[in-house]
Each structure stands twice: as structure tokens, then as C-alpha cells.
Structure 1
Amino acid sequence: MKKSAFRLAGVAGAVALGLVLAGCSSSGTGAEKSTVTFWGWAPGYADAVKAFNASHTDVSVTYQEVQPGAKGGYQKMLNAVTAKNAPCLAQVGYETLPSFAAQGALDDVSQYANGDKGKYQPAAWKSVSIGDAVYGAPVDTGPMALFYNKQLFDSLGLAAPTTWDEYQADAVKIHASDPNKFISSPYMDYDYAGLAWQPGATWFGVSGDSWKVTMASAENKKVADYWQGLVKDGVISSAPMYDQAWYTGLGNGDIATVVGAVWQAGVIKGGAADGSGKWAVAPMPQWKAGEDQVGNAGGSATAVLKGCSDPKGAWEFANWMSTDKTTFNTLVQKAGLYPAATALTSLPALTSGDPYFGGQKIYDVFSAAAATVNPSWTWGPVMTKTAADLNDGLGKAWSGQGTIADALQTAQDKTVAELKTQGLKVSQ
């Protein structure tokens, strides 16, 4: 794709210099009905569009389902922007949004959006913002907690750990009880990012008109060294997450915990049926007793693409879909989305007990967690490459070859090189 002035100056600088154009004019006059197109793939989005069109007369939305982002949807969106025939709206993951911005593929809708900022969790709002620009509406988030095999913990007289020191001690006890049992499995890319996110071990930041890459910071090394210690203790399973061996371990009790986002509930239930009734959810362990801070893993936005003919109407729909109670309740039921809007945490779909987790109302835990997600996190503009480079090192580190800290340093070095190759400014 041709480099735009936006891309060359760097995201924050472009915003500061006013190089991010709003695209075309807003309809907003009521003269005639505006039509905007929305590309996405989440189950329930078609229902949301239908409900919006039935209740709104000024804007009409046309929904088109595309392949999930990493499977072709994102490239289709970028190609459409280049060809100047992109839809107004698109489903874009938080981790990918900065790369779209860096390529000049998004419209700044802050003039329409800022009035609704207070409706969303601070961390979610930051995920759709760079500098003063706002590129879409937050849809869902991935507040993290501790999924744990309560039956196993109870059998050993262990309570759910409240600190990472307790977690390490429990890991040793569980493995000592049976050499085939492990506290957890290796975490990769965005799952690992959630662990770093919790204590504020940021990976990226914006300074003036430049990107800062901080993956190898002292804060990150603290998190890395903790998990490296568990590897050294021999208490981390070799089963990769989402592999069949992982699901088997969750079902038979060989893997005792998953430190994961709210959507992991569906993953665990769907892949480890044998664990039904054995598992429970507890708050994410803290680095210091009494602290109350969690990480986030996952989430997406309804982003406004460059060239939208009606950015005001696009925001109207995007904000409505994320905040309408009836519509989002359906999204919870059909897509397992957890709302970024603060007023929606008590939806009916989020207040019932779950038989898989012993009848526990697990969303009560995530509702509390959502309010304490550390808001300091910023995703970088080349996350696909950053994640791939990080995974190369993490795969080796979890198996005892190299260290997690080394993997972070290498990923940082390669990310900085890629940013410079793409003409983005980097400050050390």
C-alpha cells in the first residue's frame, strides 16, 4: 500500500498536525436518509443491524459478513480503502486498530464520539483512541480472571490464590501431589500480553509524533521472570493452549488453571466437556495483597473507515450497537461478547448461574474485573509482526530454551526495525 503522509509522520504526529481528514461530509441534516455499510463477522451483528433499522429513520445500515480479520477480512478492508470503495464501518480488533490508523485507513470521528466517552470503560475507550483522535466505538472487552479446577484445589486443601506468590506456592503443591499435574500451560502473544497488562508493563506508547516500544522494560522483565521461574520449577505443562492436549488436560484435571479473559469461559466449556462441574472462576491474582488491578485480552471496535460518506451516521449506529441493552444482550448470547459499555454489565445474559462452573454466576467476577482493567495499555501499529516475532521466542522460552525476557527484547528490537522500515518515527 502506498505510504500516506499520515503513515510517514507517525500516528500521534499526524493527529497533532491535523493530517487525519474526516473524509466526507456528515449527513446529520435530516434532509434525506443516509445509508452506511458495515462489514463484520461476529454472530449477532446481522440481528443488531436489523433492530437498528427498525428503530431509526435518519440512518439505514447495510450489513455484509466478511471473513474474520486474520483470515482475510482485514486485508479486504484495507484493499477497499485503497480502492476508495470501502464501507463506512468495519469490525476491527483493538490490537489491529493502530495498524489501520498507521496506514491511513481510518477516519477520526472524535467530533461525534467524544460526547459518548463516559459510557465506556476507560481502557476500552483508550483502545479506540490515539492521541486526540477516536476511530470507532468500543464493542467488547476481555477482562481477565482466574479459571481454576475447584475440585482439584479442594482435594488438596487449597483455596483460589489471591496473589501471584500464592499461585506459585500452589503450583508447587499441585505438581508435588502428582507429577502429571501442572498449574498452567504456556501463554503466547495476546494471552501473554494480558499478563503483562495487569501491572502496567506496557509494550507501546506515543511520545509526541513518535512511537515508543517498551516490551523489554524493567516492568516487563518482572512479569517475564516470574513466569520463567514457574518454568524452572517444572510446573508449566507442555500442552499448547488451544491444542487438543490442552483441552484434555483441562477436562481430566492435569492442567489446574487458566489465567484468561471472560471469553475463555466459552472456550473451556466447548473444548473440555469432562471438566463440567469441576471448574470455578476467581479474581485474577494480584502482585501485592490488597491490590485490585487486572489485565485485558481481546476485544474489538466498530471502526470508521477512511472515506466514509456519513461519519456522523456511522457513529450513531456504532455507539447504539454498543450501548443498546436488548441488542447487546443478544450479542452476549450469540457471540459471547462482554460489553465495553459500563451500563450493560447487569444484562440478563450476564446474571445467570453456569452449570459448567458449578452454578456459579461467573460474570459477577468479570463485572468487578472490568472496572479495574489497567487503562495504561496501548497496542502498537505492527502487531501482526510483533506477535509473530514474540511467539518465536516464547515458544522456546516456555520449553526451557532461552528466556521470556530474551523473547521480549528480541521482539522489541524487530518491532523497532519494522517501524523504521515503514517510515514511522520511533523514540527510545
Structure 2
Amino acid sequence: MRSRRMRRAALAAASVVIMAAAGCSSGDGGSDTAGQKATLDFWGWSPGYEEAVAQFNKTHPDIKVNFQKTASGSKGGYTKMLTAAKAGNAPCLAMVGYETMPSFAAAGALQDITEYAAPYKKKFAQWTWNQVSIAGQTFGAPVDSAPMALFYRKDLFAKYGIDKPPATWDEYRAAARKVHRADPDVYLGTFGNDAYNYAGLAWQAGAKWFGTKGDAWQVSLNSPANAKVAGYWQGLIDDKLLKADPSFDPSLYKDMAGGKILSDVNAVWNAPILASSVKDTSGKWAVAPMPVWDADQPAYGNDGGSATAVMKGCEHPEQATEFAMWMSTNKDSLSTLIKAAGIYPAATAGLSHPALSKPDPFYGGQKIYDVFKKETPHVDTGWQWGPTMTQTSTDLTDSLGRAGKGSAALPDLLTSVQKKTAGELKRQGLNVTTP
């Protein structure tokens, strides 16, 4: 069992778990295999990963990586990974979102690779390195971050008299009203059920969800800052100014392709997804900065970011680390991942990669990454995820769907999600405080 003493030490350091208590030391399940040939299994789902693995295998004859495509984490991938870790037959490597790293750590599913990873630390933005490091131990390589922006139809904005993309949320509301008044079947945007997209909206507003104080977790999904965000979107729902299509659902892309939904506030990695989902509208889309609360002090949200995690029991942790760091920093690998997965690299050298400066035909020849580069310095890097995000995201996804349909009010639903989250933390034996 986790000891109270260890838990206090971790929380005092604003960490998420004490991995020594979870049984994940650097030697746990593995050994120093430097110089030996190694075969590594790698589970993930993102486009481009398989190609990046093939590039690695061509240039590293002593390390073979076998990539196995799984369902995305939220659709069963994480459950499969955790089940395998519990059974002692997990892959060496796994694609794990930053938001889920604390949950994997709490479950004892990650392996400490600090001694192998340390030389690579300076290659990454500090805040992304923090996403793979817990209580002074490192468990994987950062791959990307995910600043958010406004994806919009240039031609239809012009048709409905929107002269420029809304720069603030007040302007967004005014544009939404203008469009819907002109045609009740057309909407400026959508209110989906993606918990992590909503997290990005909260992140932008400084509406923290988790924190630590003393030996207790702080859970604050219904704080005043969160209430501000929830109240804004509830107002748009109440005024019927948004279409409630489920996130990433065929119905959403049908409405976008048909000119019924004119824009989407989403992360950088949405760029290739949108392009492949509404191909017939190529050249009509553009990317603008995410609307902000205060134009004089702009702040932007982040929706995602992932790591290549080393799983507990990996027999070749040094080689697994070598591959993970290579995939995140190698120029050819980054080229593949930027093109196929729309990543915004976590590696600092990757931010000057030529692929980020290429005009995108789908977006009318726009160099869309210029938008994300300008936003990145204004993304709060102090956001903290909690160890119950699997449960929290499930409850929030359900709540967002209900709010979009008008069957319940978003502020009330957030209070319910907070209560369930606090209950889950207590079930895990952790101290909890709420506002």
C-alpha cells in the first residue's frame, strides 16, 4: 500500500504519485542491456507512428521496434495497456497522453528511466518534460504539445458578413448570433462532448482542475474561474447558437462539409483530421488564433500532448529510451509526425523544423503553424493533471453530451463531476480538498 509518509512527500513537491511506493524503480522488471540486440513492442494509435518506427528500424539494426496499432486511449487503448501491465505482459513502449500519465503512474504501470533519459532533458521545453516526470523520476519522452486555434471557413464567413475571425469570446458570441439569425439552420460552431477539448477551454481561462497543498489533492472543477467558462458556453447553448454534434463524429464533418457549421475551436493536431474529413472543401478553410477573454492580455488553451511512455517490466529500458527520444527529436521522424499527425513538437529544435513553414493547400496555402507559434508563449505551462483523469474524462464526456442536448446545465454537471472525482481520489486513499 502507498504509505501516508510517501504520499505527503510527493504532494509537497506538487507531484502526482510516489512511484517507489508503486513498485517502479529503474531496475524493476529490466536490466542494463546496453550493447545487446533488442526487440521492443510499441502500442499506439496516432497516424504517422508506424512510418516513424519504420524509419528508425532502417537506421538502428540492433534495435527492432514492432508497432501495434490500438484503439485510441479513450476508446479502449488505455484499458488494454493497463490490463497488460497488471498481467505482466505490457509492451515496452506505449503512446500515452500527458493527461493520463499520472493515472498510469498511480496504477504502477510505468517504468523509471531517469538514468537513461537525463541526457535528453535539455532537448525539450521544460513544461513538456515535466509532463513525463513525476516526483523526480522520468517515465517517457515528450512528443508534442497542442495549442488551440480557430479553424474556419473563409468563404462562408464572408457570406454571412463576418469580416474577420472573432478575436475575443465576446466577438465569437456576436458572430454566432449573426450567423444563426441569417439562417437558423447554420451555426458558427459546435458544442461537442470531448472532455479534453473542454479542458483546453478551462486551461485558457486559468480555471485549474487539480492542484496540491500539503498532503492533499485540491479538486476545483466548479471554481469561480471554471464557472465563468461553463456559464459562457451554457449561454450559447441556451440561446441555441451552437450545434451539438458529438466530437469527431461523422455527423460533425457532414455538417462542416455542407456549410452548416462554419468553424471549430480545436488543437493543432486537428488540422490533418479536418483536412481528411472534409476533402471536398479544400482551399476554403483557414486557421486563426483561438478567441481570448482579454485582448490586451491574450492567453490560449492547450488540448492534448502525448508521450512515448516506457511501461513497467520492459526488459530493455535503455533501448526503449533511445527509441522514444529519437522519435521525438529526429528530423525525419518529426517530418513524418508533423505531416501525418499534425504534431507541434515538444523538442525545442523541432520548432524550427522546415515542415512547420510549409504552405498548406487545404488551408488555402496558409502557413498554419505560424498561428500556433505565436500562441505558444501565451499558453499557461502550470496546468496540472490529476491521477483520476480516466474517471474524470468519462464523467465529463457524458456531462458535456447532456449539456449540449439541453437536458442539464453545464455548471451543475461540473459540480457533479467534481464530487465523483473527489470520491475516486478518496477511494484511492488520497486526501482531498475542494473549494
Does TM, normalized by the shorter one, top 0.5?
yes
Helix, strand or coil at the partner of 1:63: strand
Change beyond 3 A, Cα 1:373–1:111: farther
Question: Would the alpha carbon gap of residues 147 and 45 (structure 1) be closer, same or farther in structure 2, given more than 3 Å must change?
Answer: closer
One-letter code of the match for 1:282? A
Q: Structure 2 CA distance, aligned partners of 1:311 and 1:359?
A: 43
Distance 1:427 1:421 in 2: 14
* Separation (CA, whole Å) in 1 of partners of 2:123 and 2:339: 22
Asked if 2 retains the 8 angstrom alpha-carbon contact of 1:394 and 1:403, the reply is no
Distance 2:291 2:97 in 1: 26
One-letter amino acid matched to 1:341: A
Superposition CA RMSD, Å = 2.8
Secondary structure of the 2:304 match is strand
Residue 390 (structure 2) aligned to one of 384, 394, 397: 384
Of residues 250, 257, 278, the one that matches 1:251 is 257
How many angstroms does 1:203 deviate by?
A: 1.4
Q: Which residue of 1 aligns with 2:166?
A: 161
Q: Which residue of 1 aligns with 2:192?
A: 187
Give the partner amino acid of 2:332: T
User: What's 1:234 paired with?
Assistant: 240
Tell me, in whole angstroms, the C-alpha distance in 2 between the residues paired with 1:114 and 1:219. 37
1:212 and 2:215 matched: no
Counterparts in 2 of 1:207 and 1:241: CA distance versus 1, 3 Å: same
Q: Which residue of 2 aligns with 1:409?
A: 415
1:67 aligns with 2:70: yes
- Asked if 1:49 corresponds to 2:53, the answer is yes
Contact 1:26 1:313 in 2 (8 A): no
Task: Tell me if 1:99 matches 2:103.
Answer: yes
- Alpha-carbon distance, 1:97 to partner: 1.6
Q: How far apart in 1 are the matches of 2:214 and 2:264?
A: 38
Aligned amino acid, residue 400 of structure 2: L
Instruction: Give aligned-pair identity as a percent.
Output: 49
Contact 1:279 1:356 in 2 (8 A): yes
Shift of 1:20: 4.3
Report the CA distance between 1:117 and its aligned residue.
3.0
Tell me the alpha carbon deviations over residues 151-205 of structure 1, each in whole angstroms, 9 at most, x when there is no partner: 2222304211111121122222222222222221113211111111112212122
Where does the alignment leave 5 or more consecutive residues of structure 1 unmatched?
none
Gap runs ≥5 in structure 2: none
Report the Cα distance in structure 1 between the residues aligned to 2:52 and 2:39, rounded to whole angstroms: 15
Shift of 1:100: 0.8
Whole-angstrom CA distance in 2 between matches of 1:18 and 1:234: 48
In 1, the alpha carbon distance for the partners of 2:317 and 2:360 equals 40
Change in 2 beyond 3 A, CA 1:382/1:149: same
> Which residue pairs with 1:358 in the alignment?
364
Task: Provide the C-alpha distance between the structure 1 equivalents of 2:364 and 2:299, rounded to a whole number of angstroms.
Answer: 26
- Decide which moves more: 159-168 or 363-372: 363-372
Distance 2:404 2:312 in 1: 41
**Superposed counterparts of 1:119-158, under 5 Å:** 119-155=123-159, 156-158=161-163
Rounded to whole Å, the distance in 2 between the matches of 1:17 and 1:244 is 44
> CA offset at residue 275 of structure 1?
3.0
Match of 1:396 in 2: 402
Correspondence for 2:121? 117
CA-to-aligned-CA distance 1:39-74 (integer Å, 9 cap, x gap): 3343433443343344447x6143241422344443
Secondary structure class of the residue paired with 1:376: coil
Aligned to 2:175: 170
What do residues 214-261 of structure 1 show as CA deviations (whole Å, max 9, x unaligned)?
A: 211111111111111212332112333333332232123321220001
**C-alpha displacement of 1:324:** 0.6
Q: Deviation per CA, 1:349-405, whole angstroms, max 9, x where unpaired?
A: 332222222221112212333443321222222223212212332223223333211
Q: Distance in 1 between matches of 2:212 and 2:92?
A: 27
Q: Which moved more, 1:13-22 or 1:145-154?
A: 13-22
Task: State how far apart, in whole Å, the 2-side matches of 1:16 and 1:88 are.
Answer: 19
Instruction: Find the counterpart in structure 2 of residue 318 from structure 1.
Output: 324
Q: Measured at CA, do residues 55 and 392 of structure 1 come closer, stay the same or move farther in structure 2, by a change above 3 Å?
A: closer
Higher mean C-alpha deviation, range 38-47 or range 219-228: 38-47
**What is the rounded CA distance, in whole Å, between the counterparts of 1:401 and 1:71 in structure 2?**
24
Find the aligned partners of 1:330 and 1:99 in 2 and give their Cα distance.
Answer: 29
Does the residue aligned with 2:432 lie in a helix, a strand or coil? coil
Deviation at 1:104, TM superposition (A): 0.8
Distance in 1 (CA, whole Å) between partners of 2:57 and 2:235 is: 54
Contact preservation (8 Å) 1:13, 1:210: no
- Change in 2 beyond 3 A, CA 1:234/1:38: closer
Structure 1 residue 268 and structure 2 residue 271: aligned? no
Contact 1:51–1:327 under 8 Å retained in 2: yes
Q: State the alpha-carbon separation in 1 of the partners of residues 77 and 408 from structure 2.
A: 35
Residues 358 and 35 of structure 1: CA distance in aligned 2, closer, same or farther (over 3 Å)? closer
Distance verdict in 2 for CA 1:294–1:345, change over 3 Å: same
CA distance in 2, matches of 1:12, 1:249: 41
The answer to which of 127-136 and 176-185 deviates more is 127-136
**Aligned mates of 1:299, 1:140 — CA distance in 2:** 5
Task: Tell me by how many angstroms 1:33 deviates.
Answer: 4.5
Tell me if 1:302 matches 2:305. Answer: no
Question: In 2 relative to 1, CA 260–13 (structure 1 residues): closer, same or farther, beyond 3 Å?
Answer: closer
Distance across 1 between alignment mates of 2:53 and 2:157: 45
- Where 1:101 maps in the other structure, the secondary structure is helix
Moved more, 290-299 or 160-169: 290-299
